[in-house]
Amino acid sequence: MKKYKHILANRQDAATKLIDVIPMNKLKEERWVSVAVSKGGLALGSLIAAKYNTPLEALFMAPIMAPNNPECEIARVSETQEIVINENLVSSFEIKYDYIYGEAHRKHEEDILSYIYQYRKGRPFPSMKQQVVLLIDDGSETGSRFMTALKSVLAQKPKAVYIAVSVLPTDVLELLEPFVDDIYFLYDIDDFVETNLYFENLEKIEDEKIELLLEENK
């Protein structure tokens, strides 16, 4: 863990290094779009998109927590109402699927729709059909955000899907690889703790910044 602590200065540093890793010329040969899967991913993605003047979108989603443990995420739902469930946790805690689907509906109605109206002025997530898609995040502890984004985007029949991420656990890298055309990353870490640990400064993204980034990168 100490080997990787603060190995990246900030998102600008991560973006600069990812730009060297991502074969942008290959992606630029076709129509493609970047899709952020978190607030941090949006900030990181804006730096990459600005370099190549490509469109940037955000896919909004919300976690579903265990009924008796508000710290334990058991599933996640996206704005396209795709749900990814952690089957191992659901089985271990004997959680009923009715609870998960009910919570998914509630989260979509109460949280995700408010994000869409606040940050995107009600504009729906655009179709990714026949697009080359680059999913972006600054880090991935469990892979749940990427898996939810993949399920949402793949349902729209894109031409290809790639992932760009600064840091992630080795087991999450292995989990995601079968579902994408390629993954571009800086560090895969065996004893991964949390994304913040690997950055000297990971700026908190305020609501105003989200609106500004989405407006600038439409």
pLDDT digits (tens, 9 = 90+) for 160-205: 999 999 999 999 999 999 999 999 999 999 999 999 999 999 999 8
52 shares a domain with 135? yes
Check residue 26 and give its pLDDT: 76
- Which of 120, 141, 159 corresponds to the end of one domain? 120
Name the residue range of residue 83's domain: 62-120
Residues near 114 by Cβ (< 8 Å), separated by ≥ 6? none
- Give start and end residues of each alpha helix (H) in 108-205: 113-120, 144-154, 170-176
139 shares a domain with 207? yes
Overall domain count for the chain:
2
Decide if 101 is inside a domain.
yes
**Residue 184 near residue 22, CB atoms below 8 Å:** yes
- Give start and end residues of each alpha helix (H) in 74-206: 87-93, 97-107, 113-120, 144-154, 170-176
Q: In the chain, which residues have pLDDT < 50? A: none
Decide if 194 is inside a domain.
yes
Decide if 102 is inside a domain.
yes
CA dist 74 and 196 (Å) reads: 22
Decide if 4 is inside a domain.
no
45 shares a domain with 114? no
66 shares a domain with 135? no
Check residue 81 and give its pLDDT: 97
